[in-house]
Chain A
Amino acid sequence: MAILIFADTSNGKVSKNALEAASYGAKVASSLGTSATVITFGNADAAALAAFGTQGVTKVLVNRSLSNADSRQISKLVVGAAEKEGASVIVFSHDLIGRAVAPRVSARLGAGLVSGAIDYPNTSAGFTVKVNLFSGKAYGEIEVLSEKKVISVLPNSVGLANAGGSASVEDFAFDAGASSVKVKEVKKNEGEISLPEAELVVSAGRGMKGPENWGMIEELAKELGAATACSRPVADIGWRPHHEHVGQTGIAIAPNLYIAVGISGAIQHLAGVNRSKVIVVVNSDPEAPFFKAADYGIVGDAFQVVPQITEALRKFKASHN
């Protein structure tokens, strides 16, 4: 009845999403009185993989022969590991790879899938897990009726355990069959902080007037250690790259802090950012709808306000070092 966590380390690194899924799985395991194992593939070194132990995982199974992102092969690997471990609950991150693989594993095992969990399972009556629905406008308690269960965890929703400890790392030889998807090219986004994983995000919209004015947004983001994002029209006109576009048709994020500059706060934009823990809005229009969703608001001209914030941040950092 163990808990299995799929964690993507295919690029040789252990990402925050992977650690968060592991932390979630380990916590479920301890509440059910069982152990948690991570299944992964790729070439991350054993010392990096042992770090899953900091989240309460005791064992990491790693398959060294799989290398690319064919969801069919990965799901076979996960199902193979689930059988080996006798797993009753399989946990994924609700990130891009999890979204491709978790449904396959669910269908293969006839195990009900809860996608985008924002809390731990409630087992007081049955097995229910809380998720966001209607693009963040409501919650649902999803009851899993099958004996085996699959859960994908919304990034940044439960955080890390940092329990301390080190996991044992074992090679897991497994034949996942031939790849049916050939990778021709990988294009990495510029910038060091990946938006879907970022805890702090500085975002700007059409109020910036033009792409040449983004310097101050980038400066604030850099000073904060934040990722940058934008509203849809800004990506559509080409002021910013498409992978920065957040909202209903872009990506949905749930950072701890979302600073929105010169963005009106249309419902479709909010749909992608309303799960942020704290929202700061800078807008020259006091009637901008975004203020209704904000925790902190500044009515003012972004061109004056943003440099002031950056300056205050520099001073703050200097005095807290």
Chain B
Amino acid sequence: MKILVAISKAPDTTSKIAFADNDTKFNEAGVQYIVNPYDEWYALVRALELTETSGGTVTTITVGTPADEPIIRKALAIGATDAVRIDAEATDAFFVASQIAAYAKDKGFDMVMLGKETIDFNGSQVGGMVAELLDLPYVSIASKLDVAGSTATIECDIQGGTEVVEANLPLVISCAKGMAEQRIPNMRGIMAARTKPLAVVPPVEVAKLTNVKKFSMPPAKSACKMIPADNAGSLIELLHNEAKVI
């Protein structure tokens, strides 16, 4: 099986969020970047498990600058066969999806796997766009995936429950919790990652469809109103009269 896994960077969850250039740019100062958890823990690890049991390769693809190489090497250390970096700043989701689709188009991948969203833009956009650009089936927010021959069986979230579906390869899947367990790279993996192939590919030209015009922070929260434990019941009156939510 030949699998392409999209890997992107994301600020570590505990990063302080701040903006620069008159609130038009994310301030990267002091921010530690990690592999987007959904890409790493779920898409990448499940792709590795599948090729470990039935053979094949896992190629990672990242749209990004040389600054993204540490996270690409981490994916290689976890076990990916090789990596591709599309040499461009990831601007909007459509730009990223178009680069991934253009690369994947004629390479005969059986599956393109991605995380369900990134933890910075929370868009859930790239997977569906890649599927459309490649005219492939797309199963999103998948929590289980098995492949037998050319058929994939996938469990995915639907409104109010889960659904088990079957689809023929090739297809695009976005992955969520349940797919796989996190893997920590070992020393051998880290050493091997240094010499694994990392191809740098020029981007294709794509029009930008969206732009973040301005970032802002939520207004400061007013102090929490404390209710004495021996009068907990008064909460109900407050929720009715003051907060007006019940």
Chain B residue contacts of A143, Cβ below 8 A: 210-213
Q: Which residue of the partner chain, among A295, A299, A301, A313, contacts B225 with CB atoms under 8 Å?
A: A295
Q: Is the CB of B235 within 8 A of A312?
A: yes
Q: Is the CB of A186 within 8 A of B129?
A: no
With A71-B131, A180-B137 already in contact, the answer to whether A111 and B122 are too (CB < 8 A) is no
Q: Is the CB of B233 within 8 A of A267?
A: no
Q: Is the CB of B158 within 8 A of A184?
A: no
Interface string of A103-121 (1 = CB under 8 A from B): 1111110111111100000
Distance from A134 Cβ to chain B, minimum over Cβ atoms (Å): 5
Measured in the bound complex, the distance between the Cα atoms of B228 and A189 in whole Å is 36
Q: Which of A33-41, A162-170, A277-285 forms part of the interface with chain B?
A: A277-285
Q: Which of B59-67, B71-79, B103-111, B162-170 forms part of the interface with chain A?
A: B162-170
Is A321's CB within 8 Å of the partner chain B? no
Is B229's CB within 8 Å of the partner chain A? yes
Is A216's CB within 8 Å of the partner chain B? no
With A72-B131, A72-B137 already in contact, the answer to whether A112 and B246 are too (CB < 8 A) is no
Is B29's CB within 8 Å of the partner chain A? no
Q: Which residue of the partner chain, among B37, B138, B221, contacts A292 with CB atoms under 8 Å?
A: B221
Q: Which residue of chain A has its CB nearest to the CB of B42?
A: A249
Q: Which residue of the partner chain, among A94, A96, A308, contacts B140 with CB atoms under 8 Å?
A: A96
With A143-B210, A184-B153, A257-B239 already in contact, the answer to whether A8 and B159 are too (CB < 8 A) is yes
Q: Is the CB of A183 within 8 A of B163?
A: yes
Is B49's CB within 8 Å of the partner chain A? no
Distance from B166 Cβ to chain A, minimum over Cβ atoms (Å): 5
How many residues of chain B get a CB closer than 8 Å to chain A's CBs? 81
Q: Is the CB of B224 within 8 A of A297?
A: yes
Measured in the bound complex, the distance between the Cα atoms of B233 and A256 in whole Å is 19
For the side of the interface on A, what is the size category?
35 or more
With A139-B216, A280-B235 already in contact, the answer to whether A100 and B128 are too (CB < 8 A) is yes
Chain B residue contacts of A315, Cβ below 8 A: 233
Q: Which residue of chain A has its CB nearest to the CB of B222?
A: A295
Q: Is the CB of B160 within 8 A of A189?
A: yes
Measured in the bound complex, the distance between the Cα atoms of B119 and A120 in whole Å is 23
Is A144's CB within 8 Å of the partner chain B? yes
Chain B residue contacts of A256, Cβ below 8 A: 245
Chain B residue contacts of A85, Cβ below 8 A: none
Q: Is the CB of A138 within 8 A of B218?
A: yes
Interface set, chain B 77-114, CB cutoff 8 A to A: 92-94, 97
With A103-B127, A104-B128, A180-B168 already in contact, the answer to whether A301 and B13 are too (CB < 8 A) is no
Chain B residue contacts of A114, Cβ below 8 A: 210
Distance from B144 Cβ to chain A, minimum over Cβ atoms (Å): 11
Chain B residue contacts of A252, Cβ below 8 A: 122
Q: Is the CB of B128 within 8 A of A107?
A: yes
Q: Is the CB of B177 within 8 A of A249?
A: yes
Is B148's CB within 8 Å of the partner chain A? no
With A257-B239, A305-B229 already in contact, the answer to whether A103 and B129 are too (CB < 8 A) is yes
Q: Is the CB of B237 within 8 A of A316?
A: yes
Q: Which residue of chain B has its CB nearest to the CB of A179?
A: B137
Distance from A105 Cβ to chain B, minimum over Cβ atoms (Å): 8
Chain A residue contacts of B224, Cβ below 8 A: 281, 291-292, 294-297
Task: Tell me the A residues contacting B by CB distance below 8 Å.
Answer: 8, 11, 15, 17, 69-72, 75, 94-97, 99-108, 110-116, 126, 128, 132-135, 137-146, 180-189, 194, 196-197, 200, 224, 242-243, 245, 248-250, 252, 256-257, 267-268, 271, 277-278, 280-282, 291-301, 304-305, 308-309, 311-313, 315-316
Instruction: Jot down 30 A-B pairs with beta carbons below 8 A, ordered by A.
Output: A75-B132, A94-B124, A100-B141, A102-B128, A107-B128, A113-B123, A114-B210, A116-B123, A135-B120, A137-B218, A138-B215, A138-B216, A139-B218, A141-B216, A143-B211, A180-B167, A181-B166, A188-B160, A194-B159, A248-B13, A249-B37, A278-B245, A293-B221, A297-B225, A298-B229, A298-B235, A304-B232, A305-B232, A308-B233, A316-B237
Task: Tell me the B residues contacting A by CB distance below 8 Å.
Answer: 11, 13-14, 17, 19, 37, 92-94, 97, 116, 119-129, 131-133, 135-141, 143, 153, 157-168, 171, 177-178, 207-218, 221-222, 224-229, 232-240, 243, 245-246
